[in-house]
Amino acid sequence: MYNMLLIAMIVVGFLLIVTVLMQPSKQQDALSALSGGAGDLFATQKARGFEAVMQRITAILGAIWFILGLALVYLSSH
């Protein structure tokens, strides 16, 4: 059981890395944070389309990875 969860955690971790790397770049947001970005105060928009899907998948994979980690800790202590 432990080995199966460990393999699942490795696979989910790899998928999590891939989904984070596939998300669109937000370099403009970083530049506005350094330069003040007062003009962008009211320009925040909700993520749509591909970006929203990738954010949702990343959050789900992160939650699964965290739960698998807790399960592995529980199994290793018994």
pLDDT digits (tens, 9 = 90+) for 12-39: 999 999 999 998 877 665 566 666 655 5
Residue matched to tokens 């393999």: 7
| Cβ-based neighbour number of residue 56 at 10 Å | 12
The reported pTM is 0.73
Q: pLDDT band at residue 73, thresholds of 50, 70 and 90?
A: very high
Report how far apart the first and last C-alpha atoms of the chain are (Å, whole number): 12
